[in-house]
Amino acid sequence: MATIRLGDEAPNFNAKTTEGDINFHDWLGDSWGILFSHPADYTPVCTTELGTVAKYKEEFDKRNVKVVALSVDGLDSHKGWIGDINETQGTTVNFPIIADEDRKVSELYDMIHPNADSKLTVRSVFVIGDDKKVKLIITYPASTGRNFDELLRVIDSLQLTAYHKVATPANWNNGEDVVVSPAIATEDIPSMFPKGHKVVKPYLRTTPQPNLD
Ligand code: BEZ
């Protein structure tokens, strides 16, 4: 297992999923992607997480993001559990879940942290860009369910900063002012950011979010 770092190409793999066999890169196509692991099927926090992801499908679609979940449970287990998720979370699971019984993908992506649990995956999240590069890695322990609003927020930031020479400040939300990239000289800002800007310090320049009307 090699360490995966930001900017690396997301390792490719073939896997069995609840929506059929996939080749990860082919399945991603031109989309952005989220690959996320959960510790085990038929567990309470995971049930709420997968139900939440199903409810956010429209938000992921708007951002051209495909989502795939993973645990080391088998396909029959996943398929039975989906019934419980749909029933208890009032949703329809609408994304594939990888059955990684041989732990091939878990090991490739370092999702098993032996000092936390020797057999089960932790709550890993990998956001992958449309160039197949890893853009974000977050790891949560089994006892803490993820905040999927935060995932949408960081995807908004990742997609904005991929296409515009800006960065997003602390606690930024879509629609708020952003920071001009330090690589841009202050005298070049007016032509590049015609909506206006403020120079708070020579290294801290803000501007309205450039990709909004
Ligand atoms: C859960 O999803 O609720 C869970 C899974 C493994 C350990 C602790 C909680």
DSSP conformation class of 9: B
What's the 94 CA to ligand 1 centre distance in angstroms?
22
Q: For 14-146, which CATH superfamily applies?
A: Glutaredoxin (3.40.30.10)
Domain(s) labelled CATH 3.40.30.10 in the chain stretch across 14-146
CATH number of 164-207: 3.30.1020.10
Residues 6+ apart with CB under 8 A from 166: 160, 178, 179, 180, 181, 207, 209, 210
Rounded to the nearest whole angstrom, what is the distance from the C-alpha of residue 104 to the centroid of ligand 1?
Answer: 21
Largest CA distance in the chain: 61
Q: What is the pLDDT along the chain (213 residues), one digit of tens a residue?
A: 679 999 999 999 999 999 999 999 999 999 999 999 999 999 999 999 999 999 999 999 999 999 999 999 999 999 999 999 999 999 999 999 999 999 999 999 999 999 999 999 999 999 999 999 999 999 999 999 999 999 999 999 999 999 999 999 999 999 999 999 999 999 999 999 999 999 999 999 999 999 997
- Among 37, 41, 46, residue to substitute to test ligand 1 (most atoms within 8 Å of Cβ): 46
CB 64 within 8 A of CB 31: yes
**Which backbone phi and psi does 172 adopt, to 5 degrees?**
-60, 145
Share of the chain above pLDDT 70, in %: 100
- Active-site annotation holder among 15, 35, 46, 189: 46
Question: Separation of 40 CA from ligand 1 center, angstroms?
Answer: 7
Give catalytic status of residue 128 as yes or no. Answer: no
The reported pTM is 0.96
Cα–Cα distance for residue pair 31/68, rounded to 1 Å: 12
Q: Considering the chain, tell me which residue range(s) the CATH 3.30.1020.10 domain(s) occupy.
A: 164-207
pLDDT tens per residue across span 7-45: 999 999 999 999 999 999 999 999 999 999 999 999 999
The length of the chain, given as a count of residues: 213
